[in-house]
Structure 1
Amino acid sequence: MTALERLADLAGGMMLDTARVTAVTRLPGEFVRVELAADAFGKATWVPGAKLQFRPRRGTLSLRTYTPVRWDAGRGVTELLGFTHGDGPAARWLRQVADGDACEVFGPRKSIDLRDPAGPVVFVGDESSVALACALRTVTADVAHVFEARDPAGLSEVLAGLGLDAQVAEKTADRAEVLRLARSAAGPATLVVTGDAATVHAVRRDSRTWPRVPREVQGKAYWAAGRTGLD
């Protein structure tokens, strides 16, 4: 181990909390549900939409960000839903994780605040947004879900298994279908859009021309083609 790796582990020991994996469920479409338990979770205040970061590899301070699906402070337990597409350190960790494993976490921290949406919600996202949709369900059921995916049938299967009724469009460069579905969703008062940075930008811009312009818009890019470091 190099001096830099030792320094990263020393800093991580001061900054990060240790959590233990208490359940792993592998879902279709490269999704994994992971339940984590930690003493620190019982002392934390969770807001639906907040983020939790974890360190998938020691010897570095590189963290990966996920949206907890639920939070049980009484038991000191939370649950993450990860999409394992790609070959990054978090995807590799999720593919290998097993009950009883330990990991290091940081948070929860502020991201999107879903506690008080203004009326009916139109939710637009992709595979990286599924956990946020589940977190929103803890607040309101008055949601029209629209997703884009490279494999619409596969994502539809996952969403149905999670109890999320959604329309899923095939991901295209012009985003025409996801824009059409979002525009036609009934009665939006709040728009929540996350996922691909280009889609977030396109939906926010298009929403200004909707028959019913959203009173509140919450958007956050989770990833962008050719870039790293986004939440």
Structure 2
Amino acid sequence: MTGLAERLADLASGAMLHNARVTGLSRHSPEFIRVELSAEAFRKATWVPGAKLQFRPRRGSMNLRTYTPVSWDAARGVTELIAYTHGDGPAAQWLGQAAEGQTCEVFGPRRSIDLRDATGPVLFVGDESSVALACALRTVNRDVSHVFEARDPAGLVDVLAQLGIAERVAVVATAADRAELLRQARDDAMQAPYTLVVTGDAATVHAVRRDTRGWERKPRQVKGKAYWAEGRTGLD
């Protein structure tokens, strides 16, 4: 961006974004980090489990990166994120260097997936980028079977266990044909009416939605959202 464009981006951010402070940091693995953010604006916000929070990792740009809060304490003005920091993009760089006391600019919370009506049994399908949503779902429903695809299945199993998701969890290796993921999801589909929540890779979300047409035990409702797609940025 030119100098003028950068200055305009910073001026625009002043009207849109709120300042937040990092008040807690912990790592669950080299790629998963828990971040506690505090802001006066959070006290006035209405959070819905499944909503998104965006932050600007670099000044001089209006490019925002999106994460799912796993909890929200309006009384204290505090929220927590579980961030998957793969790659070397601006957000991964910022999070890799973040320290307590550091400030950032945030936007939200904003509507994304509303988990409040995911009542009764839930089948949750996702990948590494879906972990925070799985944690947010636990604030409203514990009757959940999880199926994840992951580049490092054993590593993700360990991270999920640290986050309290250790039962009714299957993690399969990421594969182009998604055959094992789809088989596991079909096997885990419940007899009783259930909700299917599927997020993560756009190609996986599409494949699962298409595959459910042939399932013997079909979901009563599907909540699906693509968080990323190969070769694309800023999908959400």
- State the TM bucket, normalised to the shorter chain: over 0.9
Q: 1:29-69 CA deviation, whole Å, 9 max, x = no partner?
A: 41010000001101000000000000000001100000001
Per the TM alignment, residue 12 of structure 1 is displaced from its structure 2 partner at its CA by 0.4
Per the TM alignment, residue 3 of structure 1 is displaced from its structure 2 partner at its CA by 1.1
Alignment of 1:206-217 (within 5 A): 206-217=211-222
Tell me how far apart the structure 2 counterparts of residues 197 and 36 of structure 1 sit (CA, whole Å). Answer: 29
Q: More displaced, 193-202 or 117-126?
A: 117-126
SS state at 1:44 partner? coil
Residue 94 (str. 1) matches residue 83 (str. 2): no
Name 1:12's counterpart in structure 2: 13
SS state at 2:93 partner? helix
Name 2:205's counterpart in structure 1: 200
Per the TM alignment, residue 118 of structure 1 is displaced from its structure 2 partner at its CA by 3.9
Name 1:180's counterpart in structure 2: 183
Residue 170 (str. 1) matches residue 170 (str. 2): no
5+ residue gaps, structure 1, are: none
5+ residue gaps, structure 2, are: none
SS state at 1:69 partner? strand
Task: Decide which of 204, 208, 224 is 1:219's aligned counterpart.
Answer: 224
Q: Percent identity, please.
A: 73
Name 2:133's counterpart in structure 1: 132
Tell me how far apart the structure 2 counterparts of residues 118 and 129 of structure 1 sit (CA, whole Å). Answer: 19
Alignment of 1:1-231 (within 5 A): 2-165=3-166, 166-187=169-190, 189-231=194-236
Q: 1:174-224 CA deviation, whole Å, 9 max, x = no partner?
A: 001110111111416100000000000001111122221001000000011
Q: 1:133-155 CA deviation, whole Å, 9 max, x = no partner?
A: 00000000000000000110111
Q: Report the AA paired with residue 205 of structure 2.
A: V
Tell me how far apart the structure 2 counterparts of residues 189 and 91 of structure 1 sit (CA, whole Å). Answer: 35
SS state at 2:69 partner? coil
Tell me how far apart the structure 2 counterparts of residues 20 and 182 of structure 1 sit (CA, whole Å). Answer: 39
Tell me how far apart the structure 1 counterparts of residues 221 and 150 of structure 2 sit (CA, whole Å). Answer: 25
Q: 1:67-120 CA deviation, whole Å, 9 max, x = no partner?
A: 001000010000011111101100101111000000000000000000011420
Instruction: Answer whether contact 2:189 2:218 (CA < 8 A) is retained.
Output: no
Tell me how far apart the structure 1 counterparts of residues 207 and 189 of structure 2 sit (CA, whole Å). Answer: 19
Instruction: Answer whether contact 1:118 1:216 (CA < 8 A) is retained.
Output: no
SS state at 1:58 partner? coil
Q: Report the AA paired with residue 226 of structure 2.
A: A
Q: Report the AA paired with residue 177 of structure 1.
A: E
Tell me how far apart the structure 1 counterparts of residues 189 and 219 of structure 2 sit (CA, whole Å). Answer: 11
Instruction: Answer whether contact 2:21 2:104 (CA < 8 A) is retained.
Output: yes
Instruction: Answer whether contact 2:122 2:194 (CA < 8 A) is retained.
Output: yes
Q: Report the AA paired with residue 223 of structure 1.
A: W
Across the two proteins, how many residue pairs are aligned to each other? 231
CA RMSD, Structure 1 to Structure 2 (Å): 1.0
Per the TM alignment, residue 11 of structure 1 is displaced from its structure 2 partner at its CA by 0.5
Tell me how far apart the structure 1 counterparts of residues 231 and 157 of structure 2 sit (CA, whole Å). Answer: 26
User: Where do 4+ consecutive residues of structure 1 move more than 4 Å?
Assistant: none
Instruction: Answer whether contact 1:29 1:154 (CA < 8 A) is retained.
Output: no
